[in-house]
Amino acid sequence: MNSAVEKGRKPVPGGKSCGAVSHPARWGMLGRGPSSQSERRIPMHRRLLLFFCTLILCFSLLVSRLADIASQTTLLAAAGQQSATVLQVAETRGTIYVRKMRPLTGIRTDYVAAVLPGDQSADLLMRHTPEAQRTALLDRLTGGKPFLWPVDSGDLYARGVEVFPVEQRYLDRQPAVHLIGQLDPATGQGASGLELAYDSLLSAAGGSLQMRYFTNALGRGVSNTPAEKIDTGYRSGAGLVLTLDRELQQLVEQAAQPLERGAVVVMDPQTGDLLACASVPAFNPNNPAASMNDPDLPFLNRAFCAYSVGSTFKLLTAATALEQGIPATRTYECRGAIEVLDQTFHCHNLNGHGLLDMQGAIEHSCNPYFISLALGIGGAPLLYKAQQLGFGTAFEAAPGFSSYTGTLPDPRELTAPAATANFGFGQGSLTATPVQIACLVSAMVNGGGAVTPRLVAGSATDGTLLTEPTAVYSPRQVFLPEATAQVREMMIAVVEEGSGTNAMPARGGAGGKTASAQTGQYVDGEEIVHAWFAGFYPAESPRFVIVVLCEGGESGGDRACPIFRDIADGIAALGL
C-alpha cells in the first residue's frame, strides 16, 4: 500500500522529491561508477585543447619572428643601398699678413652654394643664376646628386641650399706677387717665393670645409636626412707676417706702372724693414700660363736682381771721402772729360760743368769730379765700405728665397787706376740690387748705420703676431754721422736745384740722387742704360727710403724721378 502510494506520488513542483530526501546515500553510491568513467575521458579533451593552443601560440611566435627577420632584412638592404657623398667646399692655406695684421692673401671672397636638389633649391637657384648658365644648372638639379654652385650673394636661403663664403687666395692683380710667389696648380703646394719658402708652415696653418650628404645607391641625396658640415680649421687665422704696409704696397705698384720694366723698393731707414717692394711687369697668379712667353719676363723679381748702378754709388764715394778728411769744399774743374793714364772718361755734359765743389758735383752728377775723388781715396777704402753696407752679399728674404748678390770689383782689379776710376762713379764691374741701393741711402739717412733688410716679421696664429724680435734693432756703424749728414744735405740740394728736381714732392721736401747707368750691352747699336732715382722722404727726419729703377730708361731725372714724386705725394695723402 505504501509502496503504491509512493509510486503514485508526484514530485512537488519547485521542491525535492521525497525519495531524494529520504535516501541521500543511495544517490551517492549510485553515482560513483559513472563519475570515474568521466574522469578517464575529460583529460583527453583537455590535452587536445592544450595541444591546439600550444600549436597556435608557436605558430604565432614563428610568424612574428619571420616578420621581424623580414623587416631587418629590408632595413639592411636599404642601408646597404645608402652611402655618403662629401663635397669639398673649400680649402685654405695659412694667411700671409702684412703690418697691422692685415691680410695680403685671401682678400677677395666669393660665394658657393652646397645644393641638395629639390623643388625649393631649384626655384631659388634658377632665380639667381644668369640665363646663360641655367641649362647647366638644370642638368645638375635633375641629376639629383648633391653639388656645388657659385652664387653672387651670401643671403640666399632655401631648403637644400647652404651658402658659404669662400676665400680666393689671390687677386688677378695680386699685391707683392713677386714676393708671395705662386702655388703649383697640380699639388697646391708652394712653387716659388714665400709660398715655397714657407710651404710647410702655410700648409699646416690651413684647413678645409666640407659638406657630407647621405645618398642612395644612385648617388641621389636623401632629403629626409640632414647634411653635416665638417670644418677642420678652415679659417684658423694662422700664417706668416711680413714687414710690408698694404696701402703703401698698393700705392707703389700703381705708381710704378709707367716703368714698363723696373722695380721700386721702399725701406724703413732705421730698421731695414721692407715697407713696399714692386717689380714691373707683374703676372697673374691665377693664370700664370698667360705670361710664360712674355718677352718682358714678368716672373722676374727685378727688385732682387743686380744692375749697373751708375751715379747712385757716388753717395758712398762722397761719404768715404768726407770721412777720410777730404772737405766738401774741395773743388775740381770739369771740362767734359778726364784722362786716367791712357783712358778717357767722359762726363754726361760734354761741355763740362766748370768749377765744382762736392755739393755741386752731387747736384749735377759730374763724373770727372768723382773720378778724381776716387783716385785720391784709392779703390780699397771704397771696396771696404761697400762690403760693410752689404754690396756683393745676397739678401735672404726667407729660407731659400734670396736676392742676387751683385758684383764688386776684385781687389787686385782695383790696383789699376782705370778700375778705381770706374768704381768711384758706379761703373765698371760693379752691380747691385735695388734693395742694396736702399741700404746705401738708409746709411746716409740714419747716421751712417748699415741696416739688414727684413721682409718676414714672424708667424701668426688666430690673426695674432707670435714671433718677432724682442731686442731693439741697432744698425752697424759704417760711416761717421758727420759725414752722412753732409751727404744728406747734398741730396736735398739735388732735388731742390740739381738733376732731381722732377722728384720734388708737393710738400715735405725730399733728397736723392739720380743715375743713368751704362751697361755695356747694346741693342740695335744702342747701349742699354738703366735710369735710377734713390732718395728719402720727407727731407727732415726722413722715414722712407725710396729707390726707383727703370730698366732701359736712359735718364733717371726724366723717368725715375716722377715716380718717386708720385709715391712721396701718395704717402702724404695716406697719412703714413
> Cα(512)–Cα(445) distance, rounded to whole angstroms?
11
> Cα(267)–Cα(269) distance, rounded to whole angstroms?
6
Q: Which residues of 2-17 are buried (b: 16+ CB within 10 A; e: fewer)?
A: eeeeeeeeeeeeeeee
> Cα(179)–Cα(449) distance, rounded to whole angstroms?
26
Whole-number Cα distances in Å, 272 to 167, 244, 450? 32, 11, 9
| Residue range 343-376, pLDDT digits in tens | 999 999 999 999 999 999 999 999 999 999 999 9
Of 290, 294, 230, which is closest to residue 86 (Cα–Cα)? Answer: 230
**397 pLDDT higher than 80:** yes
SS3 287: coil
Decide if 54 is inside a domain.
Answer: no
> Cα(238)–Cα(461) distance, rounded to whole angstroms?
4
Indicate the pLDDT class of residue 425, thresholds 50, 70 and 90: very high
Cα dihedral 231, 235, 238, 243, rounded to 10, equals 160
Decide if 126 is inside a domain.
Answer: no
**76 pLDDT higher than 60:** no
Residue 432 DSSP code = B
- Pairing mode, if any, of strands 464-465 and 456-461? antiparallel
Do both 265 and 237 map to the same domain? no
The residue-averaged pLDDT of 61-88 equals 61
Among 181, 207, 242, give the residue marking a domain's end.
242
For residue 453, whether the previous peptide bond is cis, meaning omega lies within 30 degrees of 0, is no
> Cα(194)–Cα(177) distance, rounded to whole angstroms?
10
Do both 264 and 234 map to the same domain? no
Q: Which residues of 507-525 are buried (b: 16+ CB within 10 A; e: fewer)?
A: eebbbbbbbbbebeeeeee
Q: C-alpha grid cell for residue 162?
A: 647652404
The DSSP element (H or E) to which 74 belongs, if any, is helix 24-81
Do both 238 and 257 map to the same domain? no
Q: At what angle do helices 417-424 and 379-388 cross, to 10 degrees?
A: 40
The residue-averaged pLDDT of 482-493 equals 98
Decide if 22 is inside a domain.
Answer: no
Parent domain of 200: 84-116+146-151+162-242
> Cα(279)–Cα(291) distance, rounded to whole angstroms?
14
Do both 238 and 276 map to the same domain? no
Q: Mind giving me the DSSP string for 215-229? A: E-TTS-B-TTS--EE
Do both 409 and 486 map to the same domain? yes
Among 188, 211, 242, give the residue marking a domain's end.
242
| Residue range 549-571, pLDDT digits in tens | 999 877 767 889 999 999 999 99
Query: Letter for the amino acid at 264?
Result: V
Of 328, 264, 338, which is closest to residue 301 (Cα–Cα)? Answer: 264
Q: Mind giving me the DSSP string for 466-488? A: -----SPP-PEE-S-HHHHHHHH
Contact between residue 386 and residue 403 where contact means Cβ atoms under 8 Å apart: no
Decide if 105 is inside a domain.
Answer: yes
Query: Letter for the amino acid at 130?
Result: P
> Cα(108)–Cα(111) distance, rounded to whole angstroms?
10
Do both 392 and 512 map to the same domain? yes
pLDDT of residue 66: 57
Cβ contacts of residue 273 below 8 Å, gap of 6+? Answer: 243, 267, 453, 454, 457
User: Which CATH number covers residue 169?
Assistant: 3.90.1310
Please state the φ and ψ torsions of residue 5, each to the nearest 5 degrees. -60, -40
Mean pLDDT of the chain: 88
Long-range contacts of 6-15 (CB under 8 A, 24+ apart): none
Do both 89 and 230 map to the same domain? yes
* Count of domains forming the chain: 2
Q: C-alpha grid cell for residue 290?
A: 698667360
Across the strands, what pairs with 91? Answer: 208
Do both 370 and 319 map to the same domain? yes
pLDDT of residue 565: 98
Among 242, 274, 308, give the residue marking a domain's end.
242
Q: C-alpha grid cell for residue 341?
A: 793714364
Do both 501 and 560 map to the same domain? yes
Contact between residue 153 and residue 110 where contact means Cβ atoms under 8 Å apart: no
**78 pLDDT higher than 80:** no
> Cα(227)–Cα(14) distance, rounded to whole angstroms?
86
- Pairing mode, if any, of strands 262-267 and 274-280? antiparallel
Do both 174 and 277 map to the same domain? no
Indicate the pLDDT class of residue 153, thresholds 50, 70 and 90: very high
| Residue range 301-352, pLDDT digits in tens | 999 999 999 999 999 999 999 999 999 999 999 999 999 999 999 999 999 9
User: Which CATH number covers residue 428?
Assistant: 3.40.710.10
> Cα(336)–Cα(347) distance, rounded to whole angstroms?
5
Q: Pick 50 or 423 by higher pLDDT.
A: 423
Decide if 371 is inside a domain.
Answer: yes
Decide if 253 is inside a domain.
Answer: yes
Indicate the pLDDT class of residue 466, thresholds 50, 70 and 90: confident
> Cα(353)–Cα(365) distance, rounded to whole angstroms?
10
pLDDT of residue 7: 41
Do both 217 and 352 map to the same domain? no
Across the strands, what pairs with 183? Answer: 190
Do both 230 and 301 map to the same domain? no
The residue-averaged pLDDT of 10-30 equals 40
